[in-house]
Every structure is written in structure tokens, then in C-alpha cells.
Amino acid sequence: MNLTKILTYVFLVIAIGLAAYLVNLIYSDIERKRRIAEVEARVVEKLKMIREAQIAYQAVHGQYTSNWDKLISFINNGKIYVVERREEIIPLDYGADSLVVHVDTLDTVNVRDSLFSRVKYPNLVIEDLPLIPESNKKFEIFADKITKSGVTVDVIEVRDVDPIDKTRKEDSEIKNRRPLRFGSRTEITTSGNWGE
């Protein structure tokens, strides 16, 4: 065997090894991104459920709660009101209109049956709602009252303290690259940063 054939075989083995390494690197990156997307979808689903529960809690109690036990108890045992709202416009003599709003409470329904029915969420364990998917930590929950333009309002923020995507940093300039969350500590909002 001459030197050319030996070098050809050596380079062939190196090329095959390099190709296998690159294919494995690309595949593992694709698999990692798929897993991140899958787990983040589950985090977003939980955040949406928590948001629904918090909005219902605030409607009944007049404020949000930062206590997981109170929220879980509300979901399991609380009731929300079914109301009917009618508006009556009364024309006044001088050309203006008067608006009278009638609000009637028609019924009450269980929070669990209304927001978290077993049909909609067949495998939901309410006690696991605070737990971040693929983590042993709980979502961080902040609820308080702030003054905005001279008016006291309720604010809520619930965020993922253990993101699976480690590139999500709290100090990121881009809002949707921060850890997944809804609400704000300083603004009156319940929108999420996942691009809803």
C-alpha cells in the first residue's frame, strides 16, 4: 500500500467522524429546542390557568392573592357569581341622555366547575397548579395594591423562577426573553410575555 492510499483512508475516516459529530451536534440542538418549546408550552398553559383563577378571585374578594393555599382553596371551594347587566338609556329634556345600569345576580357556580372543569382539564390536579413544569420550584406570585394617577388599584405578577431556557434572563432588554410571566408589579395588566 502506498502513502496516497493510506492518507486517503485516514482522511476518509476523519471526514466520516467529523460528519457524524456535526450531525449529532445539530440533532442535539434541534432536540433541545423542541424540549424547551414543549416545556414552555406547559408553563404558559399553567400561567393562563393561574391568571383565570386570580381574575376570578379578584372579582369575588376585591383583590388578588399572593397565597397559594388561599387560591387553591378558592378554586376547590369558591363560588363565582353569574350576573346579567342591562343598560337603559333615558332621553333627557335638554337633548342629553342618562344611562342607568342594572346589574342582577342570577346564580352562583363553583369555580372548579366553571373555570377548571374535568372536561376541559381531565388530568388537572389543582394542588399541583403552583408547581413549575419540569422543576421542583413554585411560580413566584406577587399581589399588592399600588397608586396609579391618584387611584389605588390591584396588581398581580406571577413568574417562572426556574426557566428551562437558561437564556431567559430577568435583566434582558427584550421583554419576551425574560422568564415567562403574566402581569406586572408596576402596571395594571394581566397580559403575559409569551406573545399572546
- The residue that leads in pLDDT, 12 or 195, is 12
Residue 130 CA to residue 139 CA, distance in Å, equals 6
**pLDDT greater than 90 at residue 166:** no
Residue 107 CA to residue 7 CA, distance in Å, equals 85
The pTM of this model reads 0.79
Residue 82 inside a domain? The answer is no
Residue 194 inside a domain? The answer is no
Residue 78 inside a domain? The answer is no
Residue 5 CA to residue 195 CA, distance in Å, equals 58
Question: What's the mean pLDDT in 125-150?
Answer: 91
- The residue that leads in pLDDT, 40 or 92, is 40
Q: What pLDDT is recorded for position 196?
A: 63
Residue 37 CA to residue 177 CA, distance in Å, equals 13
Residue 73 inside a domain? The answer is no
Question: What's the mean pLDDT in 18-38?
Answer: 91
Residue 95 inside a domain? The answer is no
Q: What pLDDT is recorded for position 34?
A: 92
pLDDT tens digits, 79-119: 888 888 888 888 888 878 888 888 888 888 888 888 888 88
Residue 24 CA to residue 37 CA, distance in Å, equals 20
Q: Which residues lie below 8 Å from residue 86, measured CB to CB, with a gap of 6+?
A: 101, 102, 103, 104
Nearest Cα residue to 60 out of 68, 116, 52:
52
Q: What is the mean pLDDT of the chain?
A: 89
pLDDT tens digits, 122-131: 888 889 999 9
Name the residue range of residue 139's domain. 3-65+124-183
Q: What pLDDT is recorded for position 93?
A: 80
Residue 107 CA to residue 120 CA, distance in Å, equals 22
Residue 28 inside a domain? The answer is yes
Q: Which helix (H) or strand (E) holds 88?
A: strand 79-91
Residue 140 inside a domain? The answer is yes
| Alpha helices for the chain (secondary structure H) | 3-61, 68-77, 111-115
Q: What pLDDT is recorded for position 63?
A: 92
Q: How many domains does the chain have?
A: 1
Residue 100 inside a domain? The answer is no
pLDDT tens digits, 43-79: 999 999 999 999 999 988 999 999 999 999 999 998 8
pLDDT tens digits, 168-194: 888 888 877 889 999 999 888 889 888
